[in-house]
Structure 1
Amino acid sequence: MTVGTDWATAWVRGTIDTVSEHRAELISLDREIGDADHGENLDRGFQAVATKLDTLTPETPADVLKMVASTLISTVGGASGPLLGTAYLKAAGSIAGKTELGSADIVALLTAARDGVVLRGKAEPGDKTMIDAWTPAVEAAAAAEAAGADVPAVLSAAADAAEKGAADTEPLVARKGRASYLGERAIGHRDPGAQSSSLILREAAIAAGEK
């Protein structure tokens, strides 16, 4: 099984909806250890994506992801705009020119997205950032693909691992971003970027037909 432009479009539409639905939750998480603006900024960015998506006639999945990248970078404040924008941009580059994506392409896409976040934010696993969702997602996707899983199963494995990774940020001391100023006071709070990343990755799996 492969997925194409329709999947990428459905993934983005699902992300628009889930970010809006979880806006207050993300604001609350960020209020505990950040600026309380993560949910608001992300929702504003993806509402801008929604407007552009309605006028887009993409030929490839990369066309969709590139539009998301440029929109987030230009409209989302704080760190999340550049970080997620770079993730989508690098993901698009990894599948440039392809109209159909198999399991290996999905692993390459997720890996490039994760590496884009690392490139921009310089974070590592354990720093209590969105990397703590993206890295286990990439590792789980790669393991699933190596075991012969199809695209929905690869994406589902990635989403499951991202959700666990986000939850696992709660006992961590933040080493990057505004939360790092709190020291041990950040313990017990989930990283909002990891949580929003897990929501985004779940929508990728749902768009592929996750059961």
Structure 2
Amino acid sequence: MADEPAVIDGAAVERWIRAFATAISENEAELTRLDSAIGDADHGANMARGLKAVVAKLDGGGATAPGALLKQTGMTLVSTVGGASGPLYGTFFLRMATAIGDADTLDQAAFAAALRAGVEGVVARGKAEAGDKTMYDALAPAVDALDAALGGEDTAGALQAAADAAARGRDATTPLVARKGRASYLGERSAGHQDPGATSAALLLQAAADTLG
């Protein structure tokens, strides 16, 4: 029998965002290394700067409900992260916030629906498809795995399934030839390199599994 699904409230969402910020900070050099091979070598620095600003906003108080926290996070990322990452991650969190609305708590299904809305926002903004060698290659299998786990797994198990799927998606970007973004300019030379955006997306999903279950 699965455990009772966890209820996700504002405090849990804040823990998730802070855990993502910590993961980005700890992996900044690796994200930069990956991006130096097929991009502008700025993904790590850009994401770290943006999430440092996000944490400063959290430290300042104010937003407490899940949707408000995610909206604040999205707007901060849009305004502080350069390159494509700011608009993409910003849109992800803003679309999640819109899907959640004014709800004070989320069950597993509501969170899964919000996460999918965020991923759909990334698609609308970046026009990426599966196999383009982008963050979508980690996000898409994650939301599919989360939906598949609904009802059959407790929240922790469902989110870990999503994180594992994101990690597999991240790893699967290595042999791909990039069809979107800066990496696409390299053509065949982009093959053999793990995508930095998919790597940071996998960190996002693992942070969710670590904090929201």
What TM-score range do you get, normalising by the shorter chain? Answer: over 0.9
2:27 maps to 22
2:56 maps to 51
Query: Which structure 2 segments of 5+ residues have no match?
Result: 1-5
Give the secondary-structure state (helix, strand or coil) at the position aligned to 2:54.
helix
Which residue, 104, 110, 119 being the options, matches 1:105? 110
2:184 maps to 180
Deviations 1:19-40 (A, max 9, x none): 0000000000000000000000
Deviations 1:131-168 (A, max 9, x none): 000100010000001x4322222211111100110000
Output aligned runs, 1:1-211, within 5 Å. Answer: 1-145=6-150, 147-209=151-213
Deviations 1:24-82 (A, max 9, x none): 00000000000000000000000001111111233311111011100000000000000
Give the AA of the match of 1:25: E
Distance in 1 between residues matched to 2:141 and 2:102, nearest whole Å:
27
Give the AA of the match of 1:168: A
Deviations 1:167-188 (A, max 9, x none): 0000101000010111111111
User: Contact conserved, 1:103 with 1:149, CA < 8 A, in 2?
Assistant: no
Give the secondary-structure state (helix, strand or coil) at the position aligned to 1:194.
helix
Instruction: Please provide the CA RMSD for this pair.
Output: 0.9
User: Contact conserved, 1:66 with 1:89, CA < 8 A, in 2?
Assistant: yes
How much does 1:128 deviate? 0.2
Give the secondary-structure state (helix, strand or coil) at the position aligned to 2:106.
coil
Distance in 2 between residues matched to 1:82 and 1:32, nearest whole Å:
22
Query: Which structure 1 segments of 5+ residues have no match?
Result: none
User: Contact conserved, 1:13 with 1:50, CA < 8 A, in 2?
Assistant: yes
Distance in 2 between residues matched to 1:7 and 1:167, nearest whole Å:
28
User: Contact conserved, 1:106 with 1:151, CA < 8 A, in 2?
Assistant: no
